[in-house]
Structures are given as structure tokens and as C-alpha cells.
Copies of this chain bind each other. A is one copy, B any other.
Amino acid sequence: MDVTADKHSVGLVAPHTARFDESLRLKSGAAIGGYELVYEIYGKLNADRSNAVLVCHALNASHHAAGRYAGDPDNVGWWDNMIGPGKPLDTNRFCVIGVNNLGGCFGSTGPQSINPATGRAWGADFPVVTVEDWVNTQARLADHLGIRRFAAVMGGSLGAMQALSWTIQYPERIGHALVIACAPNLSAQNIAFNEVARQAIITDPEFHDGHYYEHNTKPARGLRVARMVGHITYLSDDEMASKFGRQLRHGKLNYSFDAEFEIESYLRHQSHKFSDYFDANTYLRITKALDYFDPAAEHGGNLTLALEPATASFLIVSFTTDWRFSPERSREIIKALLDNRRDVTYAEIDAPHGHDAFLLDDARYHRLVASYYDRIGKEIAV
């Protein structure tokens, strides 16, 4: 496809790198001496720099949220259906920023980067990072770009946790939070699935206690199992049933341990793709950031108190068949915001796809987001 012919695409994009030399204190108590963040920008900052929107990524995504790269035209941004000229997040009006989080594996400083203290890759020594740490690094990136206040911060899933945390950590720097397919913390079941993923990776003999780069290998088998577990939780039972059901690959049972059902083949294929491009140390840290996120914890479990500092307006969206972060979990956030008399718009989208619905091109969902951005655009007159 010729992207220059697609008038709703941001077209060809290129990543930028920002260097931060000042040491950053992390929530764990550790500090990181200096780091780089990779980011992309779609659309233009207006004169008073009031039209910036930060898009936060979830588990396996990156700064590459929209458009394509000149040398790699198949690598379309992960939220390309949402971001672009005339799309729900309209780059004709808004200046959109995507950033690869600290600890990531797509160019920002992470476990694969060189640890200046040793001259070798950080590996297992890279610190554990949290949602709050990411928000702090994103605020520094905003400083670097001369953005005092975001018109909106937006994300789905773990990205939504960052948007929510922005409203608590930097209430004066965020106008709106778009919190999609989110939860105020992980349930025991959510943590359990993450722990399965971690154990699959950590017990892979190729993991070498996290220093596998030095051994010129990687725990691909563990990472694949981890991805398969995750993948199942992103899809609804119904969606899997309608997409795969009990369909056989070769029309009949073979009574072997090859992939016999289509769902097996699909999961194997997806997990292999994933293990080719994703780093296991990053995966481990991102699942930990998910487990740790719990803004209410510092307030005795009281989410209302935790959200008291937030002054942003909120769009909260959940999906009926999301069993990872069900609509009930979004309603916990809404209740806490309403307790604080905050401005909240909520929609529960009747979508069959499960948690992954936030990434998909659902007409009602996209119309809702478009109209919410229309409201933001009117407020800041863009």
C-alpha cells in the first residue's frame, strides 16, 4: 500500500531520541544515572503548545503508535487506526507523542543498553521500573519538548494506568485522561497469569539469570510460553470460539503433539513472532510494573483518596467481554472519581473481542473517542 496515497495516515514517520543526563530516582529506591527515550511525533504543536497529546503504550508496544517507516513499510504503528488526519485522535488538530518507556526494548534505555558502570549490557541489573517512574520520565520528555501541559494523556490497558497516574502525579499538567480498558490494580488472577509468564522465562535455561546477552542467546522458549498465556487473556472466550472454535488444521485428528487445532497453530505462530522481536528482560519488568500498579495502596486501599489530587476530566472506556480488566474494574475508578466530584464520561462498549478490543477499529468506540477529542479541541480552540 502506498502510504502517501492514504489521506488518513500520518504517512512516513521517524523516531527521535532524547537524552536525559540528570539521575532519576525510581520508586524502588534505586536511581538510574542517565537514560535515553525514543519517541515519535505526529501533527504539529500549535503556537501556545496547548494541543499535545501523549499516547502511552501497553505491554508489547512502543513509541511507534502511527504511520510507517520508509525502510520498513509493513511496520505500521500499533494505534494507527486511532491516530491520523481525520482519525479519532486527529493529527490535523493535535500534536501526538508516542514514547517507548524506560526499560523497553525498542530504543529507549533498557536491559539491552550498556550499563555505564560495567561497560556491558544491563541485563538482570537493570532496575525494576513502575508506572509512576514512567510518568516521571514522560514529564521530563514533555519538559524537553517544551510542553507544559498535555491536552490529554491517553492509553489502553497498562497505557491507561499511565494516563491515570498522570492525573495523580502531575494534575496541573494534564487536561484530560483517556483511560481505556483499565483497572485500578491487578487482581490475584491477573498477577497469577503474570507470574506464570515470568516463571516460564526465568526457568528457561537460556535465561542465565537475566544475563543472556553475554551468552549470545535468549530465553525464546520461555518468552513464547509467556506470550501464549498473555495472548489468551487478551481475547474473549467467545472471540476465540468464533475465530477458531474446535477447527482442525488438517481436517482430522492426528493423535500427535503437533498443532492439531487451529487455535494451537495460531498461538504458536504468534508466540514465535513475539520472541523474535521482544526482549525477555523487558517483558519481566513490564509484568512487574503491572503487578505493582495500585495507587490506592498508599492510601490504605482507598482509591477515592488516591484520586483526590486529580483535576483532569476523564473519558473511561471498558469493553463488555474484557475478562482481564472487566467493566467492573473501570467502575471502581469511576466511583472514586465521582466521590471526588470529578468530570467523568464513561462508556461500556458492547464488543466481542475481549481486552484487545481497545486496539481494534470498532465504529462505536472510535466515534466516542472522536467526539471526546472534538470536545477537547473546542476547549483549546484547535
Instruction: Spell out A's residues near B (CB within 8 Å).
Output: 27-30, 127-128, 185-189, 191-193, 195-196, 198-200, 202-205, 221, 224-225, 228-229, 232, 235, 237, 240-241, 243-246, 253, 255-257, 259-261, 263-264, 267-268, 271, 284, 288, 291-292, 294, 297
Contacts and interface: CB of A to CB of B under 8 A. Distances in A.
A200 B225 contact: yes
A254 to B, nearest CB: 9
B195 A228 contact: yes
Given A191-B263, A205-B205, A264-B195, A292 B253 contact: yes
Contact of A187 (B185, B240, B253, B264): B240
A292 B204 CA distance: 29
24 contacts: A28-B253, A28-B255, A30-B255, A128-B256, A186-B246, A187-B237, A187-B240, A187-B241, A188-B244, A188-B246, A188-B263, A189-B237, A189-B240, A189-B241, A191-B246, A191-B261, A192-B263, A195-B264, A196-B228, A199-B225, A203-B221, A225-B225, A229-B229, A257-B288
A188 B248 CA distance: 11
Nearest to A198: B257
B232 A189 contact: yes
- Most B Cβ at <10 Å: residue of A196, A224, A235, A284: A196
A226 to B, nearest CB: 9
**Chain A interface main SS type:** helix
Nearest to A194: B264
A30 B198 CA distance: 39
Contacts of A202: 257
A204 B263 CA distance: 21
A195 B267 contact: yes
A3 B317 CA distance: 57
Contacts of A263: 188, 191-192, 195
A30 B189 CA distance: 40
Contacts of A297: 246
A224 B202 CA distance: 12
Contacts of A257: 198, 202, 284, 288
A192 B233 CA distance: 10
A245 to B, nearest CB: 6
B267 A192 contact: yes
Given A189-B232, A192-B264, 19 more contacts: A29-B255, A188-B240, A188-B241, A188-B246, A188-B261, A189-B235, A189-B241, A191-B263, A191-B264, A192-B263, A195-B228, A196-B225, A196-B229, A196-B232, A198-B257, A199-B224, A203-B224, A204-B221, A246-B294
